[in-house]
Amino acid sequence: MATRSVHLTRTAIAILVIAPLALLGFYMWALWNPGDTVSRMPVAIVNADAGADLDGTKLQAGNDVAKALIDGGDVQWHEVSLADAKAGVEDGRYYFSVVIPEGFSRDIASAASGKGQKAQLDVVYNDHNSLVATPVGESVMAQVRSAVSESIGEQSVDQVLVGLGDAGTGFNDAANGAKQLADGAGEALAGTKELASGSVELSTGLTQAHTGSVELANGTGQLASGADDAARGAGDLHNGMGQLVAGADQLGAGATQISDVIDTVIGPLVDTMVASGVPMGTEDLPGQLKQLREGAKQIAHELSDPKADFRGGLNAAAAGSGELSTGLGQLSTGAHQVDSGAHELSTGLGQLDTGGSQLKAGLGQLQDGVGQLGAGSTQLATGLADGAKQVPHFTAAERETTAGLLSSPVELKSENIYPAVGFGPGAVPAVMSVLLFFCGILTWFVVRPRRGPVRRVHGSILREGLRRYRVPAAVTLAAALVFSVVSLTVAKADPPSVLAMVAVMVLIGAAAVATARLFTVVFGPVNGTFVGLGALMIQVFAFGGVYPIQQMPAPLRWLHELMPLTYAQNALRMVLVGYYGSRFWLAIAVLAALVVGSVLLTVWWRRRQRDEVEAEFDADPDTERIPVFS
């Protein structure tokens, strides 16, 4: 016995040293960098946003937020209906839900009114699902709210609001300018009408002038032709006068000679006749000869003396014909120049006539355009005035309030339907399941089996084995009742059926006692207790009631569906909310099978131990009877 006591002491010391180190190492391994696994947590998102009209544009802020969250992948988002999200959070399919309410876009759009309110995201947690999921979800939602709300800084938003005020002032100035433009357009329209009327008269006058210029060009052509004929006639006249003067010169020379001959012949004869006393009457021969002599002299004088009337007139006529020929030549040249100018004038007036017609048409179009400008500027002035009325004009206080709203436009409204803080109802499924299993393990550690010789063992192993469960069963029943009272009074749990909750706790306690008894039978009281505690430690990380199972390492996720605590927590969680679906009955069936299976396996193991000991005793009756746990 001394050797056995030393062995137990060493075992206990080894366990006391190794167990904490193993627990610490297991804890560090299970929760190593849990932030990288948050994206595995299933979370429901509901987009109930109805949208809003913002300056004629449909605002769908809810769609943008939902898409950004799903694409961000902070958690494993599932976009579902509101009813499915509610049911999923209650039955544990989702750790929490995020609801984008119907008025989300409307609240976002109200920020520009100066009297807006923050848009809201409704978050629903349930600590029944996991004690740690809610703090993790709150951390995730804080990041979500920050990402949605704080993309625009308060200072920049304030500048935007100031810009809106400046825009309103600008609208007023623009409206005034448009009013002036409309007035100016009215005056321009009146002037354009007068200008258009003048352009019509100008076009008519230019058409008439062009017609006259054509006639003038025709007349100047005839004038030039007549001037050419007159110039040629004057040239001929001048040539004829030259010939006439030359003939006169010849005639004058002949007349002079004749006069000299007459004077030479008749002079002495007259003198003689006068001396002879012949009468000098005009009818007398001497008188006639004298007249002949004087006439010959007069003819010679007129023909040869430039001072004579005939000769002077003839010379003047000859000079005049020369000047006439020169003048008519110049007239012909000038007439041709006039004709050329008249044709150029006619061409220019034709172009002016065409331009005048185009000017008339253009001014007509200008008149129409100025009329449209006047109407459009009037509409512009009206529209700008209406727009200036629609632009919000914030006071300094409103601008500060609205800037703060726009810089953080979204707030979270959180609700925990079963909170665990302060040992609330949300802590009951996980805490009570662990406590019941812990109580079952300690029960067999405290209530030691009676030792005795093999031959004093009761003949029926099954009946004797079941008899050993009486005290632990009573302890378990008492623990289940106490834990139920604590859940109802301290944790404020409010199950639809208290009796069902007590029954589930009793079943969980029975499963704990049965498995703990199996460990003590297989491994011995001390070792079995520590094995049970070790298994409980593993279950605390693998059953998902404390830490979200999605955050655990792969081996623990594989063990999740095999852990008794998983079904204990599920059964207790669902009975607390009145869910009696397939998952509830599966948990009940697993727990019941665990009780039956553990008891049967324990009895079988006890019978195998007895058979081995009895066989050894029968083979050697002198062998010392080794007491066994009964």
301 and 308 in contact (C-beta within 8 Å)? yes
Question: CA 246: distance to chain centroid?
Answer: 111
Residues 6 or more apart in contact with residue 286 via CB below 8 angstroms: 270, 273, 274, 278, 279, 280
* pLDDT at res. 397: 66
**Mean pLDDT computed over every residue of the chain:** 75
Stretch 31-38: mean pLDDT, rounded?
A: 64
The number of CA neighbours under 13 Å toward the Cβ of 190 is 5
* pLDDT at res. 481: 94
* pLDDT at res. 448: 62
Q: Where in the chain is the domain with CATH 1.10.287.950?
A: 168-387
Q: Which helix (H) or strand (E) element contains residue 629?
A: strand 628-629
* pLDDT at res. 459: 47
Smallest CA-to-CA distance from 517 within 424, 612, 454, 602 is with 602
**DSSP class per residue in 22-68:** HHHHHHHHHTSSGGGGGGGSEEEEEE----EEETTEEE-HHHHHHHH
Confidence of residue 232 (pLDDT cuts 50, 70, 90): confident
Least confident range of 88-92, 351-355, 463-467: 463-467
Whole-model pTM over 0.85: no
Confidence of residue 509 (pLDDT cuts 50, 70, 90): very high
48 and 82 in contact (C-beta within 8 Å)? yes
What is the spatial distance between Cα 2 and Cα 267, in angstroms, rounded to a whole number?
Answer: 221
Percent of the chain with pLDDT over 70: 64
Stretch 345-370: mean pLDDT, rounded?
A: 70
Question: Pairing state of beta strands 96-100 and 76-79?
Answer: unpaired
* pLDDT at res. 618: 52
Stretch 104-123: mean pLDDT, rounded?
A: 76
In CATH terms, the fold of domain 31-150+408-416 is: abc type-2 transporter like fold (3.40.1710)
More confident of the two residues 177 and 334:
334
Confidence of residue 52 (pLDDT cuts 50, 70, 90): confident
**Most confident of the ranges 170-179, 401-410, 422-431, 604-613:** 422-431
Q: Where in the chain is the domain with CATH 3.40.1710.10?
A: 31-150+408-416
* Residue 596 scores a pLDDT above 90: yes
Smallest CA-to-CA distance from 402 within 5, 42, 117, 151 is with 117
What is the spatial distance between Cα 610 and Cα 602, in angstroms, rounded to a whole number?
Answer: 12
More confident of the two residues 503 and 534:
503
* Residue 223 scores a pLDDT above 80: no
pLDDT digits (tens, 9 = 90+) for 384-425: 666 656 556 556 666 666 666 666 677 888 899 999 888 889
What is the spatial distance between Cα 273 and Cα 520, in angstroms, rounded to a whole number?
Answer: 215
* Residue 165 scores a pLDDT above 90: no
Q: What is the DSSP letter of 546?
A: S
Q: What is the DSSP letter of 449?
A: P
What is the spatial distance between Cα 248 and Cα 235, in angstroms, rounded to a whole number?
Answer: 19
Confidence of residue 627 (pLDDT cuts 50, 70, 90): very low
Q: Which helix (H) or strand (E) element contains residue 104?
A: helix 104-109
Smallest CA-to-CA distance from 112 within 402, 488, 433 is with 402
* pLDDT at res. 9: 63
Stretch 563-569: mean pLDDT, rounded?
A: 91
What is the spatial distance between Cα 61 and Cα 42, in angstroms, rounded to a whole number?
Answer: 23
Stretch 9-30: mean pLDDT, rounded?
A: 59
- Quick one: 168-387 is in which CATH superfamily? Methyl-accepting chemotaxis protein (1.10.287.950)
More confident of the two residues 292 and 22:
292
542 and 568 in contact (C-beta within 8 Å)? no
* Residue 157 scores a pLDDT above 60: no
More confident of the two residues 151 and 222:
222
371 and 190 in contact (C-beta within 8 Å)? no
235 and 343 in contact (C-beta within 8 Å)? no
Stretch 571-599: mean pLDDT, rounded?
A: 92
Cβ-in-10-Å burial (0-12, 13-18, 19+) of 479 comes to buried
